[in-house]
Amino acid sequence: MAGTTPVSGVRALARGPAVRAVAAGSVGNLVEWYEFGVYGFLATVLAERFFAPAGGGGAEALVRTYAAFALAFFFRPLGAALFGGLGDRWGRRPVLIAVVALMTGTTTLMGALPTYASAGVVAPWLLTFLRVIQGLAAGGEFGGAVAVLTEFAPPGRRGLYGAWQSFTMALGLLSGAGVAALTATLLTASQLAAWGWRLPFLLALPLGLVALWLRTGLTETPSFLARAQDPGARTVRLGCGTLLLAAARVTGWAAAGCTFLVVVPSYLQVTLHADVRQALVLATLGNTGFAAAILPAGLLSDRVGRRPVLLAGTVLVTVTAVPLLDLLQDAGTSGAVKGAALVGAGAMVGLMAGPGPALLAETFPTRVRWTGLGLAYALANAVFSGCAGLFITEAVRRTGDQDIPAYYAAAVCAASALALLKQPARKGS
């Protein structure tokens, strides 16, 4: 298996700090996806405060908000290449510390930004600039954290250890949804629009400080230390074909995750005129199902292989996306049934997110692992996750077809399933 060190003494180092490695490696991802979730769940409020005064209705302002959202994703590959190159050369620990500090700082600053009413056209540009910096940091975060988790994993447990990265992603989205829902529930609509939207962003500061504390105590991974002790190791080049195929295998995860777990709440509000509180509660339920499925899916992939578990998730989304969205749009469907449907949708995404990190880590050797898996993940998310809200909102606005979100998730998952058929059917190690 690529990246497994032959030095038994170095491998033994993995046993001691493994628990701290799981916490330190995955906590930065929680901060990243907490912000991701808060921005997505409060998109309608941000549209009003930063973009609606520029002209146009609510749907058009939401398109502008998602455009800033998508722009950050297109800087993720740059961040993956930049921080990945540094992490593969200098080590996992120092670069991961820098990445989480950058993400924490920019998210906190978003909560202190002036709105369009007080700063005019400068306000949306400042918001977009901070999103770009967040995109760079997020691009570096995933590859480094997954490298740490899988390189500390005991033999036969890469799927489970890598799944912690996705699990904290779910916790971040769930925390973002929960905090946004709680804020919207405790405050009046006018209070939420005036100043309440700032609170969830400012909460990123204490979360980030905990992440920094954990990462300062992190040791280097056994695989990186073994490579550093072997000066004669050959140079490994990152193949373009390998990179693109790896990205294609996780595009279903990116598209379905963003569609059902982040975009749908705002979609329900704008196109179906749902109450913001109801939409956020549904989002929380969807992310609960997502979180519940991830660790079991990662563990299962250690036993049966990555491909069968990932294929199950992509095929299920392809088959059920349209009927699931039709159920959510049916006015006669009870809130309990809609909630259960979104829990199921989240669980399907969890089947892909559980084994996904280990699959990417096993695709690339230690010398280019951070760069390779980070770029593959960033490319998939830049196109199919970051653009999901923009594409879906604009397509629904132009066509009037309310099933667009389902078509989008199903089509991308079908393409991802085809890419997975080229993945060797092997068990993790």
Do 407 and 323 contact (CB within 8 A), yes or no? no
Give pLDDT, residue 336.
84
Residues 160-188: tens digit of each pLDDT: 999 999 999 888 878 887 888 788 889 88
Residue 418, pLDDT score:
95
Q: How far apart are alpha carbons 240 and 85 in whole angstroms?
A: 16
What span, in angstroms and rounded, lies between the C-alpha atoms of 305 and 330? 38
Q: Which residues of 41-64 are buried (b: 16+ CB within 10 A; e: fewer)?
A: bbbbbbbbbbbbbeeeeeebbbbb
pLDDT at 17: 56
Residues of the chain under the 50 pLDDT cut: 1-14, 54-57, 425-429
The residue type of 380 is A
The first and second tokens of residue 379, run together, are: 């490319």
Residue of 66, 72, 5, 73 whose CA lies nearest to 40: 66
363-366 contacts, C-beta under 8 A, 24 or more apart: 363/2, 363/242, 363/246, 364/2, 364/3, 364/238, 364/242, 364/246, 365/2, 365/3, 365/236, 366/2, 366/3, 366/5, 366/151, 366/223, 366/224, 366/226, 366/227
Residues 6+ apart with CB under 8 A from 190: none
CA pair distance 373, 81, nearest whole angstrom: 10
| Residue 267, both tokens | 């979609």
pLDDT at position 58: 55
100, 31 in Cβ contact below 8 A? Answer: yes
Alpha carbon 293 to its chain centroid, in Å, reads 15
Query: For residues 355 and 413, what is the distance between their CA atoms, to the nearest angstrom?
Result: 16
CB atoms within 10 A of CB 305: 20
Written as six digits, the tokens of 316 are: 């299920």
Which tokens in the block code for residue 197?
């939207």
Task: State how far the Cα of 38 lies from the Cα of 200, in Å rounded to an integer.
Answer: 7
At residue 92, the 3 state secondary structure works out as: helix
pTM value is 0.81
Other CB atoms within a 10 A radius of the CB of residue 10 amount to 19
- Which residue, chain included where needed, has tokens 């099933």? 403
What residues contact residue 19 under an 8 Å CB cut-off, 6+ apart?
A: none
Q: Which pLDDT does position 231 carry in this prediction?
A: 57
What does the pLDDT read at residue 158?
92
Domain 17-226+239-420 coded CATH 3.40.50.300: no
Grouping H, G, I as helix, E, B as strand and the rest as coil, residue 185 is: helix
Residue 194 has a CB neighbour count (10 Å cut-off) of 14
Question: String of b and e for 315-335 (b: at least 16 CB within 10 Å)?
Answer: bbbbebbeebbebbbeeeeee
Q: Can you tell me which residue has the tokens 């609170």?
A: 199
- Report how far residue 427's alpha carbon sits from residue 326's, in angstroms, rounded to the nearest whole number: 37
Helix (H) or strand (E) holding 103: helix 92-110
